[in-house]
Amino acid sequence: MSIDTSKVAASNTTTAATAKKPSKAGAAAAWADDRLGLATAMKKNLRKVFPDHWSFMLGEIALWSFVVLLLSGVFLTLWFTPSMGEVTYQGSYDPLRGVTVSEAYNSALKLSFDVRGGLLMRQMHHWAAMVFIAAMMIHLLRVYFTGAFRKPRELNWVIGCLLLLGTLEGFTGYSLPDDLLSGTGIRAADGFMKSIPLVGSYLSFFLFDGEFPGDAIIPRLFTIHVLLIPGLLLALIAAHMLLLVYHKHTQWPGPGRTEQNVVGFPMLPVYAAKAGGFFFIVFGVTALMGGLLSINPVWKFGPYDPTKVTAGSQPDWYMGWPDGALRIMPGWEFGIFGHTFPFNVFLPIIVLPGLMFTILLMLPFIESWVTGDKRDHHLLERPRNAPTRTAVMVSLMTFYGLMWAAGGNDIIAIKLHASINQITYFMRAAVFIGPAIAFFITRRWCISLQRHDNETLLHGYETGIIMRSPEGGYSERHLPISDARAYTMTARQRDEVPALEAETDANGVPTPGSRSAKVKSKLQTLMYADNVQKPTQEELEEAHHHVEHENELQAGLDHAADGHQFDGHHLVDEEHLRSH
């Protein structure tokens, strides 16, 4: 294609226009630089390159919904009264008029019915909280599955994991309006705390300023919700972004995209415009959700009353998985020297989330310990090219999903007309067996996808055209893939399959310290040994010779039957078989 570039739009000239006289922006920048000296730092950063891929948007959704949370949250604080003092409800909502409620609940109702836009902000705040946490988790999965957590980005992985603190922020927010559901949640939290050996009841009395429910918990949670955790999240997000900029974003391999460079659009203007525009889109979608989708209608639940509970009461979805663990745990409560150890609560709700969090945090370090890989990695890997890594996360996800499903065991029982006992027993087994099966299947699946990739590289892609040989045999026509695609598929490191180190020295005596080396080499074997490596140059050449040979055998076909125009001997520029 050749285009007369003289017609190209002005914005696309490749050389910067030389400024005749300083523009307005230039004058402002000069003013600022005289005082702040930012030009040195900004020289590179204004045109900093950001690579593009849809999956890089997930973190952005989390970031922007956090901003929406800050904005809508501040609006809510203007009316919300964090107090458990009792008042008689006198607002616009008829069914509750005259009822004694807490000031917190009263102000949540006021926000919902007597402040214009108040309900919108409440619902936007709650929806944004859901989107924030969901986007954060999916972003985490993206980072893990593509290997973006590898050196030098391990610390940013750790910061990202710490951001899961946002779930606690969600729980404290959910507790603020002091409706029946939030009270039920706080009460369960009281039970959780009491399950901690030695200090449990002290923690509970300190948090509630006496016995549950007391009158301190809502004001205290309020401070935690609007000051403490948002402050921490803000600091963590700032650090996350700084490191992102310092490391430069990872990119997918492709023609011209290597470990040494980063290819994409400059921050100013394209990336800034796209990211900024995306902020408005996230904000706008949240506003539509707040306007059109009801969420947490606290007036329907009624004020908190410690003697009441609604059937099928469920926490917000992100609290679902520990709730499931709590449900399927057998009722093991131990007596220890005249004390009670409520292991049935302590294990699923205190230990398990902590354990899961620690595992998540450690994943990059475990992987690099096993592989011994100390190199920097800036190119992303397809999940299939790290079968064990991918399988580990799918296995964790299966565990999470099953626990989450167990959190709805009553609903499942009703839907399936099964007894809740059966569902629970099934789940108890499933949370152990399911992840193991998921690990195995995922790993094999990845490996067969790798094998398929190699087939495509060596023999070309399947055209769907069946060829009949003179002997009457049938075969499918394969056509070579483009260089760009072939390069993209092979642009990855070979796994260094470990050679088993000698376990004994020359005299047959076990080498000292070989135990951990042995464990490591076993793990390496598990991690790598079954992986399919990309073909070598010789293998590729040989395969291509072979293909050419085949084509020569079929060269007699000079008249093209239907579909045979794709036999590689005809120009197919004008033909469309299928997009590839």
CB of 185 to ligand HEM, least distance (A): 11
CB of 283 to another protein, least distance (A): 5
Does residue 370 bind ligand HEM (CB under 6 A)?
Answer: no
Rounded distance, CA 502 to CA 200, Å? 52
Does residue 178 bind ligand HEM (CB under 6 A)?
Answer: no
Cα dihedral sign, 13-14-19-24: positive
Give me the DSSP letters along 268-304. Answer: IIIIHHHHHHHHHHHHHHHHHHHHHS----HHHH-B-
Does residue 121 bind ligand HEM (CB under 6 A)?
Answer: no
What's the angle, vertex CA 314, arms to CA 310 and CA 315, rounded to 5?
Answer: 125
Does residue 478 bind ligand HEM (CB under 6 A)?
Answer: no
CB of 120 to another protein, least distance (A): 5
Rounded distance, CA 454 to CA 299, Å? 60
Does residue 122 bind ligand HEM (CB under 6 A)?
Answer: yes
Q: Scanning residues 100 to 119, which ones bind ligand HEM (CB under 6 A)?
A: 108, 111
- Binding partner selected for residue 49 from ligand HEM, another protein, none, CB under the kind-specific 5 to 8 Å limit: another protein
Q: Are strands 100-102 and 339-341 parallel, antiparallel or unpaired?
A: unpaired
Rounded distance, CA 497 to CA 22, Å? 60
Binds ligand HEM by CB under 6 A, chosen from 61, 129, 218, 325: 129
Rounded distance, CA 218 to CA 174, Å? 11
- Binding partner selected for residue 139 from another protein, ligand HEM, none, CB under the kind-specific 5 to 8 Å limit: none
91: DSSP letter: S
Does residue 230 bind ligand HEM (CB under 6 A)?
Answer: yes
- Binding partner selected for residue 435 from ligand HEM, another protein, none, CB under the kind-specific 5 to 8 Å limit: none
What are all long-range contacts of 358-366, with beta carbons under 8 Å and residues at least 24 apart? Answer: 359/396, 360/140, 360/161, 360/164, 360/396, 361/157, 361/158, 361/161, 363/144, 363/149, 363/157, 363/392, 364/149, 364/150, 364/154, 364/157, 365/154
The smaller minimum CB distance to ligand HEM, of residues 221 and 267, is found at 221
| Biggest CA-to-CA distance, the chain | 95
Q: Enter the tokens of residue 413.
A: 């029982």
The smaller minimum CB distance to another protein, of residues 114 and 530, is found at 114
Does residue 234 bind ligand HEM (CB under 6 A)?
Answer: no
Q: Enter the tokens of residue 486.
A: 């072939």
CA of residue 437 relative to chain centroid, distance = 22
The smaller minimum CB distance to another protein, of residues 48 and 477, is found at 48
CB of 187 to ligand HEM, least distance (A): 17
463 with 492: CB under 8 angstroms? no
> What b-and-e string marks burial along 251-280, b requiring 16 or more CB atoms within 10 Å of the CB?
bbbeeebeeeebebbebeeebeeeeeeebe
In 3D space, the residue among 238, 230, 222 whose CA is nearest the CA of residue 166 turns out to be 230
Applying CB under 6 A, the span of 141-149, 225-233, 242-250, 482-490 interacting with ligand HEM comes to 225-233
The smaller minimum CB distance to ligand HEM, of residues 69 and 392, is found at 69
390 with 446: CB under 8 angstroms? yes
Q: Scanning residues 287 to 346, which ones bind ligand HEM (CB under 6 A)?
A: 296
CB of 580 to another protein, least distance (A): 16
Q: Scanning residues 237 to 296, which ones bind ligand HEM (CB under 6 A)?
A: 296
CB of 167 to ligand HEM, least distance (A): 8
Q: What's the chain's Rg over C-alpha atoms?
A: 31
CB of 256 to another protein, least distance (A): 3
CB of 229 to ligand HEM, least distance (A): 7
CB of 243 to ligand HEM, least distance (A): 20
- Binding partner selected for residue 230 from ligand HEM, another protein, none, CB under the kind-specific 5 to 8 Å limit: ligand HEM
Three state DSSP letters for 538-566: HHHHHHHHHHHHHHHHHHHCCCCCCCHHH
Applying CB under 6 A, the span of 71-79, 342-350, 380-388, 465-473 interacting with ligand HEM comes to 71-79
Rounded distance, CA 9 to CA 43, Å? 26
CB of 64 to another protein, least distance (A): 10
Applying CB under 6 A, the span of 15-23, 126-134, 367-375, 407-415 interacting with ligand HEM comes to 126-134
The smaller minimum CB distance to another protein, of residues 133 and 457, is found at 457
* Contact positions vs ligand HEM (CB under 6 A): 66, 69-70, 73-74, 76-77, 80, 108, 111, 122, 125-126, 129, 132, 166, 169-170, 173-174, 176-177, 225-226, 230, 233, 296
